[in-house]
Amino acid sequence: FSLRSAEEVIDRVGFHNIGKEAKANLIAMSIDDGIGVVTNTEDTQRDDLDLANDAIVVVFNGAAETQSITIRTAAGFALHATQQDSRDDVVQDATFAEGVGGDGTFTVPARTTAVFVKAQGAAQGEGLSAFVTAGFEPPVPYGDTDIYLRGQFNGWGTGNRLTYLGGGSYDGFVTLEAGDYAFKIASADWSTVDIAAPEGQGVINLGEPATLSAAGRLPNLSISIAAAGEYRFVLDALDSDAPILTVTNARALPVEAFVRGTINGWSTDDPLLYVGKATTRRRSTSKPATSCSRSRLPTGRRWISARRAKAARRSSSIPASRCPDPATRTSRSRFRPRRTTCSPWPLRATCPTTKASAARPCG
């Protein structure tokens, strides 16, 4: 069979080793030929293109070791018969195992590509949705319970709530002075959520992920801050029982940076200023460039508007004596655009140049 349109590819082809939990050197691709409504339609049923299979999964493992990937709702798969009978005894070690809750795990040896199929019965059955991974948002790890950074830096209070980012992750920002701090991550009642680490494992180093425990009633975490500043705490709680905490300096850029370009002669006059929460903004002291020209409009350029071209033709008949004298004018608004020689609008029609006017500076 073949997929003959972009719509069919979008509806049927899915990739499952994606997101922040993606494994290196591994691709897991599926093709859905099961029953269901075609994506982006109201009631169009999916055609049965392969009478032998309801779904196909291809796993490419480019790593030097065996790798496994679990895909939601994957069930009933087996290694393709051709590979089961292959002379390549390595690929024969590729396996599929159904797990609790209907998820399935595909395991493929090192540097091997394995094809798994879900055989079709007497009629088209359930396949494997292309969106089972890409369209899946894991449940919020701690539900509706707010969790907080609570420690010596805020009197063990609830002034620093962690914000849920989606995908099982939270983050929060705290301004700290140099020093050593004890802290935990916990709910307001200290019992619904109480995250710390076992004895001897609670030292948090900047920039290094640390696996914690939500078992409760564990010793405090500790962190040493060498330089005062704003720090970001990121909690990856996809595994809510063993969340991973990473603390970093919140400055978006590790060194001073500048906006540099033709607007300021590629200088360092426009530094980026840190404004908090890993955000920078530009403080510009550069003035916008203006155009001051006594030359006429160039000819033969198609991007010049017809109105400008007409104005240019009219300007060619203006006597030099009618050109405004920059030395006596008080406002640019007194002169019509077609008579003005100095303007912030480039390529505007100009007065003819004479020896006298050429000697005058642009006003």
Query: CA-to-CA distance for 61 and 17, rounded, in angstroms?
Result: 11
Do 6-119 and 148-249 fold alike per CATH? yes
The CATH class of the 148-249 domain is mainly beta
- 112, 91 in Cβ contact below 8 A? yes
What pLDDT score does 270 carry?
Answer: 87
Question: Where does the chain have alpha helices with state H?
Answer: 6-12, 81-84, 306-315, 355-359
Contacts for 330-336: CB closer than 8 Å, 24+ residues apart: none
What pLDDT score does 281 carry?
Answer: 57
What pLDDT score does 19 carry?
Answer: 81
Residue 49: name the closest of 14, 13, 2 by CA: 2
Distances (CA, A) of 334 to 293, 323, 328, 331: 18, 12, 11, 6
What pLDDT score does 252 carry?
Answer: 59
What pLDDT score does 336 carry?
Answer: 45
pTM reported for the whole predicted model = 0.52
Query: CA-to-CA distance for 115 and 166, rounded, in angstroms?
Result: 32
What pLDDT score does 188 carry?
Answer: 97
Per-residue pLDDT of the chain (363 residues; tens, 9 = 90+): 899 999 999 999 999 999 877 899 999 999 999 999 999 898 999 999 999 999 999 999 999 999 999 999 999 999 999 999 999 999 999 999 998 778 999 999 999 999 999 999 999 999 999 999 887 777 899 999 999 999 999 999 999 999 999 889 999 999 999 999 999 999 999 999 999 998 889 999 999 999 999 999 999 999 999 999 999 999 999 899 999 999 999 875 667 788 999 999 999 888 887 666 655 555 544 444 444 433 343 433 333 344 444 455 554 444 444 444 544 444 444 444 444 444 444 444 444 444 444 444 444
The domain made up of 6-119 is a member of CATH 2.60.40.1180:
yes
Query: What is the domain partition of the chain in residue ranges?
Result: 6-119, 148-249, 252-289, 306-359
